[in-house]
Amino acid sequence: MVQIAMIKADVWDDRKCNLGEGPASAGINNQRGYWVDITGQKVLWRDLDTDTTGEYSVDEEIGFVIPRAQGGELIGTTSGPYLRDLDGTTHALPNRVDVDGPGENFPTRWNDAKVSPTGDLWLGTLTADFTPGESALYRLDRDGRKMERVISDVTLSNGLDWSNDGKTMYYIDTMKFTIDSFDVDGNQISNRRVRYTANPDDGFPDGMCADNQGGLWVAFWGSGQIRRLDENFKVSEIISIPALFGSSCAFIGPNLDILMITTAQSSGRKNDPFDDGEHAGKTFICKPGATGRATASVSI
């Protein structure tokens, strides 16, 4: 029987998010951690070196924040995405209306997003009530000029990342309880296959990130755990957090050996469970014994 290593995470930031998500690293030494409070309509950050913090509000729910190479951020608000300059000025980018036309069937917002090895932004959606099959995964080209719908029939587009050689993309549609992989050729994907199916009793697979050793660190919503899947998609480590709704994780710090974990108090969906614990919605860190990659920035 394979022994699973158990790891404990500690509170890094005491600010309680309604729905913390989308952790990202930024800065010369990857010392600054960014994340969003989706329903709280905020972008937050904290610096590992100086322990300084900051935040700013946006006008809509916000699914993700991605650092820009020249400074500022790309933010995934409901009607975005937008580029945000250092002075707070925003610039619109192609969005879902440009791809799908006006008049969505259900209220929809952006959720998880990440920049691929080719520099393209992959970004997914979900509907307010998780309507089956009504969401999608999109790709915004690296120049920020064209958005395409790549995968349809999605219910809750969530975690995604790429293998170290860039030849495989991993993807989570949460309500299917699966982690899938695709073969990658440039910015095209093919050959979708299920690599891991979660037990519903273990929580919902949510956000994730890859490490340099071929593993995937996956937040399991409702379990208070982050689980690492090794190269054979077997659970090898479990991180325990004192909050039920862990949502995602990312490597930060000069050695990229610190895992930053976001959590939530609830999904924000009507009648869903609420975590009223002391640490629900806070942001955590730990050293899991692996190193990862810095959050890829956008060049636009």
Active site residues: 206
Q: What φ, ψ does residue 4 adopt, rounded to 5°?
A: -100, 125
DSSP state of 225: E
CA–CA separation, 23 and 207 (whole Å)? 9
Q: Which helix (H) or strand (E) holds 99?
A: helix 96-100
Which residues, in sequence order, are bridge partners of residue 35? 44
In 3-state terms, what secondary structure has residue 176? helix
Contact 124, 139 (CB under 8 A): no
Closest to 173 measured CA to CA, from 150, 143, 148 = 150
Q: Which residues contact 249 (CB under 8 A, 6 or more apart)?
A: 23, 207, 208, 209, 217, 219, 226, 259, 260, 261, 262
20 pairs with which residues across the strands?
Answer: 37
